[in-house]
Amino acid sequence: MDPIPYRRETPGTQPPALWPDYRSTVLRSPRKPLIALPHSLSEVTGPIFGHDRLQPNDADLTSQHKERPIGDRMIVAGRVIDENERPVAGTLVEIWQANSAGRYFHPRDSRDAPLDSNFTGGGRTITDEEGRYRFITVKPGYYPWGNHPNAWRPAHIHFSVFGPSFVTRLICQMYFEDDPMLRYDPIYMSVPSDAGRKQLLAKFDYELTVPGFGLGYRFDIVLRGRNATPPEADHAH
Amino acid sequence: MRSMPFGGSYVPETPSQTAGPYVHIGLIPKQAGFDIFENNFGGDIAGPRVPGERITIKGRVFDGAGLATRDVLVETWQANAAGRYNHSADRQQGALDKSFRGWARTGTDFATGVYTIRTIKPGAVIGRKGRKRMAPHINFWIASRGINIGLATRMYFADEEAANAADPVLNIIEQPERRKTLIAPRSERDGNVTYTFDIYLQGERETVFFDA
Ligand SMILES: [Fe+2]
C-alpha cells in the first residue's frame, strides 16, 4: 500500500522562485522546471524531535543571557496546523530575528546599529498536542538592506517548521499587520495573493498579552496536508 | 479557505519566504559564532554504535554566476543502513536503530563554500507500489538568501550503478544527462570514504530539483 501523498501546492499561493524585484533570486532560482515526484517513503517520512533535546530558555529569547535585552518585550504564540486544519503536534519550531535596533547578532551584519550582548535572537520550541507554540522575545527593529535604493525590511521574525514529513518542511517570515514598510518589501510582495500575504501577518492579541509584562501577537502556521483522496487513477473509485 | 473538488474545505499552506543571509542565528548558531543551546543539531550524525559504512559528503552550491555560495542551509534526510526510515510511516520489517535519527543539518562554509556531512551510507528503500526498491539515496533540502522556496533534490551513489539504472525516480528524469547531476562520485583516502555532491542552482549543469 502506497503512503497517502501530500497535497500539491495550490496554484497562486507560493512565491515564484524567480522574482527579479528581490535581486538575489536572479542567480539563485532554478530555470529548468521542477520534476514532479510521486510521494514514496522518502517523501512522507521526516525527522522527529523530542522535548528532551530542548531547554526551557530555548523559547524565551529574553532570558538566554545575563540581563534582559533592550526593546519591547512581547509574546509570539500560535498554532501549527495542516491544510486540513488538524493540529501538527510535537513538531520543531525555530525562529531568528534582529534585535530591537534592527541589528542581527551575526558576523555578516556589520551595519552601524548597536548590538545587544543580551540578545542573540535565536529560539526554538516543540508544539504541544494542539499544535500550539509560544515564544517570549523583543520586537525586532527595521533594518536597511542593499536590494535597491532606500530599501528597508519590514519588522519580521524568521520561522522554520518541520511538520510530519520531509515535504512539509517550511521556512517563512512573520510580519506585523499595519506595518507601513510591507508594500515596499519585495520579499513580502513576492507572495502572489492578498490572502497569502495576510497569512504572514501576526495579529495583536489581547488574550495573549500578559499584564505588566508584554504585548501578545498571534501567528498561526499552515503546513501541507494529506490529500483527501489518493489521486492515482489505479486506486478504485 | 478554498473549496476542494471532493467537497469539504482547506486552508492553503502558509507562503514560503527566503531564509535570508542570517539563517545561522536560528538554525546553525555555531556558524554564527555563538553556542547557547545545549543540543545543537549538526552535520555529524553517525554515532559510534550506528551500523553502516561511515561516509563523508562534501560539496558546494553554485549560483548562476558560477560562484560557490557561502550562506546556504543544507539539510539531509535518509534511511539507515537497512533501508529503514526512523519514522512511524515506515512499516518495513527489519532493524531500526532509534539512535540514528537520519537527519543532518549544516551550512556552506563562510570561507570556502564547502558543506560537510558525516553519516552512514543508507540502504535501498522500498519504492512505491511496494515492489521496486529505490537505489540508496539521501534526500536534500536547501534554503538561503535568494531562494524563495526551499529546494528539494536527491543524492545517489556513483558506486551503485546497477541500482541507479533501475531506480524509479532517476528514470522519471527524461534526459539521461540530467540524471547525472544527482549522482555523487566516490573517493577513498586513508580508509575514509567521501562522496562529492555539488549542487548547481542554474546553468548548463543545473541540478535536478523536485516538486516533491
Ligand atoms: Fe531578516
> Tens digit of pLDDT for each residue in B132-175?
899 999 999 999 999 999 999 999 999 999 999 999 999 999 99
**Residue extents of the structural domains in chain B:** 16-200
Q: Do B13 and A55 touch (CB under 8 A)?
A: no
Q: What number of other Cβ atoms are within 10 A of residue B134's Cβ? A: 25
> Tens digit of pLDDT for each residue in A16-70?
999 999 999 999 999 999 999 999 999 999 999 877 678 889 999 999 999 999 9
AA letter at B45: I
pLDDT band at B1, cuts 50/70/90?
Answer: low
Residues facing A137 on adjacent strands: A74
Task: Measure Cα distances from A226 to A38, A159, A230, B135 in Å.
Answer: 13, 22, 9, 26
Q: Identify the pLDDT of residue B91.
A: 85
Residue with cell 555539488: B198
pLDDT at B194 over 80: yes
CATH of B16-200, one of 2.40.50.100, 2.60.130.10, 1.10.3720.10, 3.40.50.920: 2.60.130.10
Compute the average pLDDT of residues A99-117. Answer: 96
pLDDT at B38 over 90: no
A44 touches chain B (CB under 8 A): yes
Residue with cell 501577518: A201
Compute the average pLDDT of residues B2-6. Answer: 49
What is the rounded distance in angstroms from the CA atom of residue B91 to the CA atom of residue B98? 14
Q: Identify the pLDDT of residue A235.
A: 40
Q: Do B137 and A7 touch (CB under 8 A)?
A: no
Lowest-pLDDT range of A2-11, A219-228, B85-94, B117-126: B85-94
B50: left (phi over 0), alpha (psi -120 to 50) or beta: beta
| SS3 category, B25 | helix
Choose among A31, A167, A229: nearest Cβ to B212: A167
pLDDT at B5 over 80: no
How far, in Å, is the centroid of ligand 1 from the Cα of B39? Answer: 24
CA dihedral A14, A217, A90, A17 (to 10 degrees): 20
Residue with cell 505588566: A212
Cell numbers given for B64? 548562476
How far, in Å, is the centroid of ligand 1 from the Cα of A204? Answer: 20
| SS3 category, B1 | coil
Q: Do B172 and A166 touch (CB under 8 A)?
A: no
> Tens digit of pLDDT for each residue in A167-207?
999 999 999 999 999 999 999 999 999 999 999 999 999 99
Question: A66 to chain B nearest CA, in Å?
Answer: 12
* Cα dihedral sign, A172-A176-A177-A182: negative
pLDDT at B205 over 80: yes
CB-based burial label for A152 (10 Å; 0-12, 13-18, 19+): middle
Q: Identify the pLDDT of residue B92.
A: 79
Q: Identify the pLDDT of residue B35.
A: 79
Q: Identify the pLDDT of residue B10.
A: 87
Lowest-pLDDT range of A115-129, B51-65, B96-110, B144-158: B96-110
Q: What percent of chain A has pLDDT over 90?
A: 89
How far, in Å, is the centroid of ligand 1 from the Cα of A10? Answer: 26
Which has more pLDDT, A227 or B5?
A227
What is the rounded distance in angstroms from the CA atom of residue A101 to the CA atom of residue B17? 22
pLDDT at A230 over 90: no
| Closest alpha carbon within chain B to A225 | B13
Q: What percent of chain B has pLDDT over 70?
A: 95
Assign 3-state DSSP to chain B and report helix, strand, coil percentages, each to 5. 15, 30, 55
Q: Identify the pLDDT of residue A227.
A: 87
H/E run at residue B27: helix B23-27
